[in-house]
Each structure stands twice: as C-alpha cells, then as structure tokens.
Amino acid sequence: MTTTLITGANKGLGYETARRLIAEGHTVYVGSRDADRGRGAAERLGDGARAVQIDVTDDASVAAAVSTIEAGGGLDVLVNNAGVEARGPDNGVAGAAEVTADLMREVFETNVFGTVRVTHAFLPLLRRSASPVVVNVSSGLASLTHVADPGHPAAAYPGVAYPASKAAVNMVTVQYAKAFPDMRINAVEPGFTKTDLNGNTGTQTVEEGAEIIVRMARLDPDGPSGGYFDVTGPLPW
Ligand code: NAP
C-alpha cells in the first residue's frame, strides 16, 4: 500500500491529484491549512482519503501532521503542492516596479520555505519507505531559459516574486535529489491551469494540469530524480 501526503489538497491541482492517486490505490492524506476545508475535501474524495491539517508556514502544524501520519503507518510519497501567487497593490501581478522585500518574503514563506519545512520534517518517515518519492510542484515560470527568451510565452509574465520562488524550488529539488539518491525527487510544471491561483483564467483543466504531478508521484525506484518536467518531458532550467 502506498501512502501519500499532498499539501494544499483541499482544492485545485492538489485536490485533483488526490482524486487521481486514490483511484490508483494510494491512501492520500489530504493536506489543508484549514481543518474544515480539509475535512470537506476528504469527505468528497471518499474511501482512501484522510484529512490532515497542515499549514506549510507553521512549524507546529507541520510537526503535528508528521505525528498523525507516523501514527497512521508512515509515508511513501510527498507532494509539495501548496503555493501562492504574489499580488500587487491593485491585486494584479506584482511586477518589478511593485515588488517589495515583504511581498517576496510572503511568497517565499509558502512556496520555498514551506517546501523545505515540510520536506525536512517528513524526511525520517520517507527514509523508512521502501520507495520514497517527492514531487515539488514548480512552474514553467521557474525556467530561467524560457523567461529570458523573448520568443517564449513565459517571457511575457511580468511578476518577480512567484517565478523567483519557483526557481528556488527547482534548486532545492536538485540539491535534495543529489543528497538522497534512494529517493525520486523531481520538480514539475503543471501548465497554465484554471484554478483560484490565477482567478480561474488558466487555459487547461485541472485534469490536464494534474497529469504530470500524478505521473511523477507514481515513479518506480528506477525512475528519474533531480529533474524538471512538464507533461511532454524534461524542461530546460
Ligand atoms: P489553488 O487552487 O489556489 O490551490 C492552492 C492550494 O495551496 C490551496 O489548497 C491553498 O489552501 C493551499 N495553500 C496556500 N497557502 C498554504 C499554506 N500556507 N499551507 C498550506 N496550504 C496552503 O492553486 P493551484 O493552481 O491548484 O496551485 C497548486 C500548485 O500548482 C501551486 O504550487 C502553484 O504554484 C502551482 N502551479 C499552478 C499553476 C496554475 O496555472 N494553476 C501553474 C503552475 C504551477 P487554501 O484553500 O486554504 O487557500
């Protein structure tokens, strides 16, 4: 039996990933920072779903989630999915003229420090798994190659904090993967997906967006590690 934790699984890509992995036979801890939203999501997902409160910015919340999941029998797959976008003063994307250190810190707190906080806390459980897997939900906007290429659509995105946070997630992924060769640890780009993160302006469905997250969560021990993938294959850093 495979046991999986997905952070930020009460809605959006995390919820859809939970639905798919449960259908594949995983027991999924549906992580939610709000306990009620998590319980509601787990009820909707049905058998195979267990709600767990986890705010990735809060040490005590993460430690409590580790205790719950350890008592439940351990963890095989961690999907670091919880994420936030950076909003400027007019609720638009904060570009170079608007971004502040405080905004940057707020976005990094969830997207980067949250990923590290959760991964670090669950390492002892993952190390006990016969087939440990970590999926870090990054973004296509993390690709320095694409964002710096004026001919690429990613270059048109003006925000600073969000792409920088996801580029940091990519680096964290590479360093973890080298340090833990017995684990499969990869970063993924779901593609521009209709969720609350972008005010539901995304062009893909959550079913399409979750595809690469699900695929990398189901890797065998001989699968790739330390990579950055979208649904079509490896992406340039
Ligand atoms: P979403 O629908 O807004 O879902 C984000 C999830 O993260 C929600 O469950 C949210 O919880 C949770 N979250 C936020 N801060 C948290 C915290 N401190 N602790 C725990 N959970 C927290 O957005 P989404 O599009 O599904 O995003 C999922 C991931 O995909 C993110 O990492 C995002 O950056 C990435 N991504 C999305 C797209 C896209 O086009 N949608 C593209 C590339 C990458 P609440 O409900 O409590 O707010």
Number of domains in the chain: 1
Is 70 exceeded by the pLDDT of residue 155?
A: yes
Q: How far apart are CA 64 and CA 58, in angstroms?
A: 10
Is 90 exceeded by the pLDDT of residue 88?
A: no
For residues 206-233, average pLDDT: 98
For residues 34-43, average pLDDT: 98
Read off the pLDDT band of 93 (50, 70, 90).
confident
User: In whole angstroms, how far apart are CA 121 and each of 150, 172, 196, 232?
Assistant: 40, 15, 28, 32
Q: How far apart are CA 111 and CA 105, in angstroms?
A: 10
Q: Which of 84, 108, 119, 212 is the best mutation target for the ligand 1 pocket, counting ligand atoms within 8 Å of the beta carbon and taking the most?
A: 84
Measured in Å, residue 163 CA sits from the centre of ligand 1 at 14
In the three-class reduction of DSSP (H, G, I as helix; E, B as strand; rest coil), residue 41 is classed as helix
Domain with 109 in it: 3-234
For residues 216-235, average pLDDT: 98
Measured in Å, residue 10 CA sits from the centre of ligand 1 at 9
Mean pLDDT of the chain: 97
Is 90 exceeded by the pLDDT of residue 90?
A: no
Q: How far apart are CA 16 and CA 53, in angstroms?
A: 18
For residues 159-168, average pLDDT: 97
Q: How far apart are CA 42 and CA 170, in angstroms?
A: 29
In short, whether 159's Cβ falls inside 6 Å of ligand 1 is no
Q: How far apart are CA 6 and CA 30, in angstroms?
A: 6
List, in order, residues 6 or more apart from 209 with CB less than 8 Å away. Answer: 13, 16, 190, 191, 193, 195, 202
Sign of CA dihedral 32, 12, 144, 156: negative
Q: Tokens 């699900």 identify what position?
A: 214
According to DSSP, residue 81 is labeled -
pLDDT at 84: 96
Specify the ligand 1 atom closest to the Cα of 166.
34
Q: In what side-by-side order are the strands of the sheet with 228-230?
A: 49-53, 27-32, 3-6, 77-80, 133-137, 184-188, 228-230, 233-234
For residues 199-216, average pLDDT: 97
In short, whether 197's Cβ falls inside 6 Å of ligand 1 is yes
Here the CATH number for the domain that contains residue 157 is: 3.40.50.720
